[in-house]
């Protein structure tokens, strides 16, 4: 199930980047990083990506829409928790702070 959700996210990634890109687009050699893209862009990117991954994962796991509200609440809470944890990790292990 996780592999299917990850493949789904890989399929959606170009659309997410296109949704968040400025009018002029990005350089072809741009790397997605906190320093390169900025904090707000990274939060949007993480939130959308993780939300789509968890949405696909949890509804594939349940495989029914009977408990739609409970599953959607689970998706939202898990997304918020994951975004916070990943963002803290990004801030802690930012390579630009390590360089002197």
Question: Is the separation of the CB atoms in 62 and 71 below 8 Å?
Answer: yes
The answer, yes or no, to whether residue 99 has pLDDT greater than 60, is no
The answer, yes or no, to whether residue 55 has pLDDT greater than 90, is yes
Q: Tell me, yes or no, if the pTM score tops 0.85.
A: no
The answer to which of 3-12, 18-27, 70-79 has the lowest mean pLDDT is 18-27
* Cβ-Cβ contacts under 8 Å for 50 (sequence gap 6 or more): 79, 82, 83, 86
- Count of all residues that appear for the chain in the document: 100
- Tell me, what's the pLDDT at 98? 42
Mean pLDDT within 84-93: 88
Q: Which residue would you say has higher pLDDT here, 82 or 30? A: 82
What residues make up the domain containing 81?
A: 2-98
Tokens 């630009």 label which residue? 96
Domain count, the chain: 1
């Amino acid at each position: 199930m996780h592999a299917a959700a990850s493949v789904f996210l890989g399929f959606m990634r170009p659309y997410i980047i296109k949704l968040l890109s400025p009018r002029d687009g990005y350089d072809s050699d741009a790397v997605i990083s906190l320093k390169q893209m900025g904090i707000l862009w990274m939060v949007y990117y993480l939130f959308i990506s993780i939300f789509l991954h968890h949405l696909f994962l949890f509804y594939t796991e349940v495989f029914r829409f009977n408990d739609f509200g409970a599953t959607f609440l689970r998706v939202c809470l898990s997304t918020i928790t994951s975004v916070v944890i990943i963002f803290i990790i990004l801030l802690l292990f930012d390579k630009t702070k390590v360089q002197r």
